[in-house]
Structure 1
Amino acid sequence: MKQEGIYVTTYQGKSILKGIAIGEIFFYQKEEKEIKRYKPENLEAEQKRYEKARDEAIGQLGELYKKACQEVGEVNAAVFEVHAMMLEDDDFNDAVLNMIATQGINAEYAVAMTGDNFSKMFSEMEDEYFKARAADIIDISNRVVAVLGGSGSGNCELNKPVILIAEDLAPSETVQLDKNMLLAFVTEQGSSNSHTAILARSMNIPALIGVPIRKEWNGRMAVVDGYTGTLYLDPDEETLKELKKRKQAEDEERQLLLELKGKEDVTLDGKHIKLYANIGNISDVAAVMKNDAEGIGLFRSEFLYLEKDHFPTEEEQFQAYKTVAEMMAGKKVIIRTLDIGADKQAEYFHLEHEENPAMGYRAIRICLTQPEIFKTQLRALFRASAFGNIAIMYPMIISIEEIHKIKEIVEEVKSELREQGVQFSEVEQGIMIETPAAAVMSDVLAEEVDFFSIGTNDLTQYTLAIDRQNAKLDSFYDAHHPAILRMIQTVIDNGHSKGCWVGICGELGADTELTETFLKMGIDELSVSPTFVLPVRKLIRTSKCSG
């Protein structure tokens, strides 16, 4: 990058969270110790040494689970339960113990070899779930080796605020970092769904992935620009001055937004707007509360399915929905029934390959053709309704017949619960308007439901006939296309004419360029990512619905 005659070294990555961080780089390098092979004098004692180290490692994982539950929520902490289960696995333990006995080798070497063997085996499997377990195996074997070597849990100690850069971070490494000393993350590997990314979002700090890092950057000054996905290394005085100015403005804006906490979401001409937040799992509720959302407008229940290797049981789902409902203490919690399919695949559903999965076997189509899956979820939802203010909405609707079939199944579930003496509440039921068919038929559909929630992401791609995942079509994709805005207006008008309230839960809900437009259209609710609640509240309170 060239600026006023001075070359500024910049590196481009993918931004995980917007924001600016300025500070010294700390290069986090994993401790690599050579594991030597030797022949112990007493093989039986060596096996016992391994078993003791394994038990200590399992204990460490238990402590990490507790710590992670407090910081990133139960769902994200579950990885440590998985690691503990792996260490308790008979196949893994038998392989280590057998190697010590038959090859006459030390425990460290046996664990490392077993870890490599199992990791290689998993990485070569076709099943994506088992492929992902390869990294977990290496993580747990490294933990046991560290315990055997007397190096404990291997914490990374930070003694001042830094921009942490690393090739990647394992879940156990991420959770043990001192969050008060982190200004930003920059990693070479990882994805937007990695544990590093999850932690960055939960802490609301800037983060970049996909940056080609260098060890020699350690101790140098840098700036992370989460708005543009740029890392500035040793920025010159003029660049640093400009970035500091932007950060100061960002800090001032954040402070002003905090003053909006506790304020009502009411326009200048007196209309109250329901300003809700979108979540994917239980841990996100903390961000909902922190950002003062009035409720939850979209709980993506499919994440309960995506995070498991089996169909979540009724009890597992009930506990999740009940927990969120109780935490929200009477505030509205709108839960979307599972939206598996398209870009959200769970191996155990055994969905066949489709040429056009976005328009294929997904969401309500799975629920209506596999009612046993649907009824399990509905039972959990209605049971949880006794513990809070729950509403249910159904995705990918295209016809009145689908709604009639849903209602039949719902009545079956409610009848079964009554017969079993299970308490539940009568809940609001709505549908997502994300197909052009639903938008065009919204006047008829509004007579059958309590509310509409417009899913602008899919509605836009289906209306424009553009795959939103195809980067080659970015220049054609226009979320502000007049056809989309007209369709949204039609849905609002049709919903209101039949006494049905209308909200938006797609990405456009947080598009502050359109907030005032939506208010003038007559929108009743906006559900956005938690971090957008206060910026949208600011616009609601300074706008009018009329005029």
Structure 2
Amino acid sequence: MEIYEGKPIFKGIAIGKIFYYQKGKQQVKREKIQDVAAEIARYEAANEKASEQLQALYEKAVKEVGEANAAVFEVHMMMLEDDDYVSSITNMIETQNVNAEFAVATTGDNFAEMFSQMDDEYFKARAADVKDITERLISVLSEQESAGEIGAEPVIVVADDLAPSETVQMDKDKLLAFITRYGSANSHTAILARTMNIPALIGVDIKEEWNGHMAIVDGREGKLYIDPEEEVLTKLQEAQKKEQEARELLSMLKGKEDVTADGKHIKLYANIAGVGDVANVLANDAAGIGLFRSEFLYLEAEDYPDEETQFLAYKRVAENMAGKKVVVRTLDIGADKQVDYFNLDKEENPAMGYRAIRICLDRPEIFRTQLRALIRASAYGEIAIMYPMIISVEEVLKIKAIVEEVKKELDEQGIRYGNFEQGIMIETPAAVMMSEELAKEVDFFSIGTNDLTQYTLAMDRQNMKLDTMYDPHHPAILRMIRMTIENGHKGGCWVGICGELGADTTLTETFLKMGIDELSVSPSFVLPVRKIIRETKVK
């Protein structure tokens, strides 16, 4: 038995034979051509056919993994038409008199290398996309179709890396788990694994000789067992059986109401980091989105995202959620989320410094752009806007004044928008102590237990030395949550929790008895929390 470790992408246990997936990479030779115009025409025809293939893959992916996850193929279609990419290929054919296959392969290698050298993890992940469209073009030019074939039996797929088109073309009924040497948590393969609820590990030192061997993937521990011993196999088979039984029981809760045993209705929503997470929200049957971390739009950009870029993202989520509530938290940059182009000064204590709503009120042009995008998107679904790091009524009044100015601008321009709620995050002791007054100014509270715990205990939640002392169950935290709920209700607003404690099933009953109205959790926690809600009596 051999044991290997990797970075887990999705928890769970998979047991089966390994299928070592080898890419059908073409051997491209440099050839001198005589007719440059004919060669460019051949490339353009291949480009058109590749685009048609990607459109078909997009339509297939929409059915299998949802529109949000299928969007990668729209990106690939745009990359095929990218001016720099196309110009590089055609220029090489014209100036070097080389065949289209060689020009495509060389350009693909150059662009992939450029992306892989970038510091940003998102852009690093795009290197795989460039390789994917390049391989597709070469396959079309050489009249060979790409595969994605993994055989007739369920297998654990092991590969150096997997391109989006390869994972989508694989038979989903035959996939037990993914193991790759390369890739990232942002890769399409990782997203697919989470969407399909199958274990996946990345960063594993894979070997071709594993092909056909029995293996176990333990996504809980991040371990891969090759030719497991009988004792290990039996132990993990039992653990897998328990997991399957638990999932089956939970799956019976899909479509059920989020209502306590004695009739109190609870809003059970999900937290997301971006547009691509919506499919997981729907797959896990959440009643809405309680925390859309809008800062991902800024973290993934090289410059401030403009109004239209933001509007399209918010609109897409609102449309995909089909009338279910979508609570979008406005820009929460600063502290541990740094963006170079914001040019923020280095701070001794950034968690308590220039961040979130403080930046927005200090740089209103950034805030107005986001508010315009959000308010416009409210015409396409049930959008609610939530402001982070609030400490005073004065801040809320300033925000509401800006919102009214933006609405007036949109009215004058004839741009429509819908009705939208406005709420604040309660994540500072100051906000807790002022919650009765704050409740009169907003439609809802959402308690951010991560920061509330950090500020209340005066402990940096990212300091590993404090792990044993950092106690989110501290009585002071629970008292603050209770106080916030009571004061929120006095002021006429609904109150939810969107921090990590919302998914802590040991506290679900406690929160329900405190009178909480909403819990927003990671999508995979929706059904476990629903189970407890339906079993609990609050009176």
Give TM-score scaled by structure 2 length: 0.89
Partner of 2:22: 29
Deviates more, 1:87-96 or 1:179-188: 87-96
Q: CA 1:35–1:215 in structure 2 vs 1: closer, same or farther (change >3 Å)?
A: same
Partner of 1:207: 200
Contact 1:168 1:189 in 2 (8 A): yes
Deviation, structure 1 residue 297: 1.5
Question: How many angstroms apart in 1 are the aligned matches of 2:160 and 2:154?
Answer: 19
Partner of 1:405: 398
Q: CA 1:461–1:384 in structure 2 vs 1: closer, same or farther (change >3 Å)?
A: same
SS of the equivalent of 1:438 reads: helix
Contact 2:183 2:202 in 1 (8 A): yes
Q: CA 1:262–1:116 in structure 2 vs 1: closer, same or farther (change >3 Å)?
A: closer
Q: CA 1:498–1:89 in structure 2 vs 1: closer, same or farther (change >3 Å)?
A: closer
Deviation, structure 1 residue 387: 4.0
Match 1:440 to one of 433, 436, 450: 433
Partner of 2:158: 165
Deviates more, 1:314-323 or 1:289-298: 314-323
Deviation, structure 1 residue 472: 5.3
SS of the equivalent of 1:54 reads: helix
SS of the equivalent of 2:264 reads: coil
Alignment of 1:287-366 (within 5 A): 287-309=280-302, 311-345=304-338, 349=342, 351=344, 356-366=349-359
Note if 1:512 corresponds to 2:505: yes
Partner of 1:188: 181
Partner of 2:59: 66
Q: CA 1:217–1:77 in structure 2 vs 1: closer, same or farther (change >3 Å)?
A: same
Match 2:79 to one of 62, 80, 86: 86
Question: How many angstroms apart in 1 are the aligned matches of 2:63 and 2:273?
Answer: 17
Contact 1:159 1:181 in 2 (8 A): yes
SS of the equivalent of 2:394 reads: helix
Match 1:457 to one of 447, 450, 453: 450
Question: How many angstroms apart in 1 are the aligned matches of 2:296 and 2:154?
Answer: 33
Question: How many angstroms apart in 2 are the aligned matches of 1:305 and 1:237?
Answer: 50
Question: How many angstroms apart in 2 are the aligned matches of 1:346 and 1:59?
Answer: 37
Match 2:222 to one of 223, 229, 251: 229
Q: CA 1:338–1:175 in structure 2 vs 1: closer, same or farther (change >3 Å)?
A: farther
Question: How many angstroms apart in 1 are the aligned matches of 2:142 and 2:424?
Answer: 57
Deviation, structure 1 residue 505: 0.8
Q: Which amino acid aligns with 2:107?
A: T
SS of the equivalent of 2:250 reads: helix
Deviates more, 1:131-140 or 1:335-344: 131-140
Partner of 2:106: 113
Q: CA 1:318–1:114 in structure 2 vs 1: closer, same or farther (change >3 Å)?
A: closer
Question: How many angstroms apart in 2 are the aligned matches of 1:327 and 1:102?
Answer: 47
Question: How many angstroms apart in 2 are the aligned matches of 1:51 and 1:213?
Answer: 38
Match 1:482 to one of 469, 475, 482: 475
Q: CA 1:266–1:151 in structure 2 vs 1: closer, same or farther (change >3 Å)?
A: same
Partner of 2:496: 503
Question: How many angstroms apart in 1 are the aligned matches of 2:432 and 2:311?
Answer: 32
Q: CA 1:219–1:426 in structure 2 vs 1: closer, same or farther (change >3 Å)?
A: same
SS of the equivalent of 2:9 reads: strand
Contact 2:25 2:135 in 1 (8 A): no
Contact 2:387 2:425 in 1 (8 A): yes
SS of the equivalent of 1:30 reads: coil
Q: CA 1:396–1:161 in structure 2 vs 1: closer, same or farther (change >3 Å)?
A: same
Contact 2:122 2:186 in 1 (8 A): no
Partner of 2:5: 12
Q: CA 1:339–1:171 in structure 2 vs 1: closer, same or farther (change >3 Å)?
A: farther
After superposition, the C-alpha distances for 1:273-321 in whole angstroms (9 at most, x for unaligned) are: 2222223344544433333323221222333444555544444444443
Identity of counterpart residues, as a percentage? 69
Deviates more, 1:331-340 or 1:195-204: 331-340
Q: CA 1:330–1:104 in structure 2 vs 1: closer, same or farther (change >3 Å)?
A: closer
Deviation, structure 1 residue 394: 0.8
Alignment of 1:96-111 (within 5 A): 96-111=89-104
Question: How many angstroms apart in 2 are the aligned matches of 1:91 and 1:13?
Answer: 36
Partner of 1:54: 47
Contact 1:127 1:347 in 2 (8 A): no
Match 1:524 to one of 497, 506, 517: 517
Tell me, which stretches of 5 or more residues in structure 1 are unaligned?
1-7
Q: CA 1:15–1:43 in structure 2 vs 1: closer, same or farther (change >3 Å)?
A: same
Contact 2:260 2:537 in 1 (8 A): yes
Give TM-score scaled by structure 1 length: 0.88
Taking only aligned residues, the RMSD between alpha carbons, in angstroms, comes to 3.0
Contact 1:75 1:281 in 2 (8 A): no
Q: Which amino acid aligns with 1:335?
A: V
Partner of 1:492: 485
Partner of 2:250: 257
SS of the equivalent of 2:28 reads: coil
